[in-house]
Amino acid sequence: MKVIKSFAILALTALAITLWSCGGNSHDHSHEGHEHGATMEAAHGEGKEYTSAYVCPMHCEGSGSDQAGTCPKCGMDYVAQSEHVKDGHKH
């Protein structure tokens, strides 16, 4: 009986943690598939690290450019904004 009670408590705790951790993941998909050109306001942030033609995948503060290059903060290669938001990658 003690084993069953322990298992039930463990199972309920795991369920509670799972529900709690997934509960706040509501996404706004109303902008999916809507691109407004190379320099657009991205659905996931403001500032040039989100809206430039070329962005750092990590969106480091102060990054972003109108030309391909590398991020001055983390050194990652910039990716084209149009490619970065393709396939639902909008944070």
- Single out the residue of 42, 32, 45 nearest to residue 88, CA to CA: 32
Q: Is 64 exposed, middle or buried (0-12, 13-18, 19+ CB in 10 A)?
A: buried
Token pair listed for 85: 């938001």
Report the predicted TM-score, pTM, of the whole model to 2 decimal places: 0.47
**Integer angstrom CA distances of residue 53 from 32, 35, 36, 86:** 18, 12, 11, 13
Q: How far is CA 49 from the centre of its chain?
A: 13
The tens digit of pLDDT for each residue in 28-83 reads 544 444 444 444 444 567 888 888 899 998 889 889 999 999 999 999 999 998 87
